[in-house]
Amino acid sequence: MRSIEAAIDIHASPEAVFDLIHDYPRRLEWDPFLKEARLLEGAESAGLGVKARCTARNGFGGLAMETVYVSFDRPRVAAVKMTKGPAVLETFAASLRQEGIEPEVTRVTYRFNFSTKPRWLRMIADPIAASLFRREVRQRLQALKRHLERSK
């Protein structure tokens, strides 16, 4: 299983960052990776045990992933694990941490781990997937930063 982490400092409060990240009706305003983001089973807001579905833009073949929140501690951390995903992923889990490092400056750390399938192809597939995920996560964090800092 591969673990990857990326972080960025954003000029906004931890609450503002946390609330925007987990506001699914607003997700497409800032997240360049997604073409769809929605909560499932009638949920109106993100929270512990809530399920969500995110679908990647066409550059990633429109792959969709369903997740469930396994941690939700506003404004510090939220974590999800995959419940249903693309055929190439066996497991996926991620956490987003917000830490106030100065007044109105938040360090956002995105940490995730995954494993690909089939198992016999992991030695090749995991490094390729890690490279793609790393690039996408950095782009998403930069987009989050631009969006939050522009709206100030």
Task: Provide φ and ψ at 107, rounded to 5°.
Answer: -90, 120
Question: Per the structure block, which two tokens stand in for 115?
Answer: 């494993």
- What are the residues whose beta carbons fall under 8 Å from the beta carbon of 76, sequence distance 6 or more? 14, 18, 97, 98, 99
Q: How far apart are CA 83 and CA 100, in angstroms?
A: 31
pTM of the predicted protein model: 0.92
Check which CATH number belongs to the domain holding 59 and give it.
3.30.530.20
At residue 61, the pLDDT reads 59
Closest listed residue to residue 39, CA positions, set 31, 49, 29, 30: 49
- Average pLDDT score over the chain: 93
- State the residue for tokens 């995110």: 54
* Domain count of the fold of the chain: 1
Residues of the chain with pLDDT under 70: 1-2, 59-62, 151-152
pLDDT in tens, 52-95: 999 998 755 568 999 999 999 999 999 999 999 998 899 999 99
Distance CA 81, CA 101 (A): 27
Range of the domain at 39: 2-150
**Beta pairing partners, 92:** 114
In whole angstroms, how far apart are CA 113 and each of 13, 100, 138, 145? 27, 24, 15, 23
User: What does R_g of the chain's alpha carbons equal in angstroms?
Assistant: 15
Max alpha carbon distance in the chain (Å)? Answer: 49
